[in-house]
Amino acid sequence: MLDKERLSSIAEDVLYDEPMSAHTTFRIGGNADAFVNASSALEIGKVIHFCEDTNTPYMIVGNGSNLLVSDKGIRGVVIHIGKAMSKCRIDGDEVTADAGILMSQLAHKILEANLTGFEFAAGIPGTLGGGLFMNAGAYGGELKDIVETVTFIAPDGLIKTETADNLKFGYRTSIFAEGGYTILSAKMLLKEGVYDEIKATMADFNSRRSEKQPLSQPSAGSTFKRPDGYFAGKLIQDAGLMGYKIGGAMVSDKHAGFVVNTGGATAKDVMDLIRYVQKTVNEKFGVMLEPEVRMVGEA
């Protein structure tokens, strides 16, 4: 049984029985027992200590842009790192930013400082922390290319800072995906650039994104990782699955690499559709697609 009184005494902003559909870009998900809008690293540490002391499960979320939360919701505590932890400091060509800052906001600040190297991330709909967790990338760039160090709460409860070389950054993964880590901030090294050129590149990427991706419908971004030697979207399209629906979930008829919520989709609809796409593509082309979206919550 969740000790609400004790949790409320250590966290400033706690919501109980909070619908996760309000905190994911998929607009899907049952209720979380408790949803903490974290205000500082100190508060996060206290909440984690509370969870470990009371044997309460917990998880960290950012903008919820790569999550599919189960229809039964999430047992325990969700710690949200967002607006309250979104500071950014720029010193020459070094950018230090909190995990809760949105990538789009960070890109704008970097543009204003005439720095180049972050343009690829301007349209990624997540926080810096979420992006670091999965080593987000687009248009030939990845966060690992520009990250110098990341500061985080380690599984042993200590705050540590590590260089990028020690963080196991790979294609859509990092050491943080192993669990038990809470990303607090990162320092990135960029290069001096020309404002108009940086702005034009960002505009070009955003235009291409808007032209090719179903941005007007709720989704969790690319549903599947890119398999070696193939493109997930093309395999799905060639399998004739564009527009295929199960319940309120549909393979986008604009970009087959996206599963979208056409209205009222459940997590079960999305999972059933993901499995159907995997099975069909594997039968036709011998390729087993691996989901990029993270499935979380009570099974």
Catalytic residue among 70, 219, 222, 252: 222
Catalytic residue among 18, 43, 142, 292: 292
Q: pLDDT tens, 237-275?
A: 999 999 999 999 999 999 999 999 999 999 999 999 999
Residues of the chain with CATH 3.90.78.10: 232-296
> Which own/partner pairs from 275-282 qualify as long-range (CB within 8 Å, at least 24 positions apart)?
276/244, 276/246, 277/223, 277/224, 277/236, 277/239, 277/241, 277/244, 277/251, 280/239, 280/241, 281/235, 281/236, 281/239, 281/241
Exposure string (b/e) for 34-61, b if CB count within 10 Å is 16 or more?
A: bbbbbbebebbbbbbebbeeeebebbbb
Q: pLDDT tens, 38-57?
A: 999 999 999 999 999 999 99
In this prediction, residue 68 has a pLDDT band, given cuts at 50, 70 and 90, of: very high
- Residue 172 annotated in active site: yes
**What architecture is the 86-212 domain classified under in CATH?**
2-Layer Sandwich (3.30)
Residues of the chain with CATH 3.30.465.10: 86-212
- Residue 27 annotated in active site: no
Residues of the chain with CATH 3.30.43.10: 4-80
Per DSSP, 145 falls in state G
Fold classification of 232-296 is 3.90.78
Catalytic residue among 21, 172, 174, 252: 172
- Supply the mean pLDDT for the chain: 97
Q: pLDDT tens, 153-189?
A: 999 999 999 999 999 999 999 999 999 999 999 999 9
- Residue 86 annotated in active site: no
The two structure tokens encoding residue 116 = 């180049």
Predicted local distance difference test score (pLDDT) of residue 218: 98
Contact 252, 259 (CB under 8 A): yes
Look at domain 4-80 and name its CATH class. Answer: alpha beta
Residues 6+ positions from 54 with CB-CB distance below 8 Å = 2, 3, 6
Predicted local distance difference test score (pLDDT) of residue 210: 94
Q: Is 142 helix (H, G, I), strand (E, B) or coil?
A: strand
E strand or H helix at 159: strand 159-163
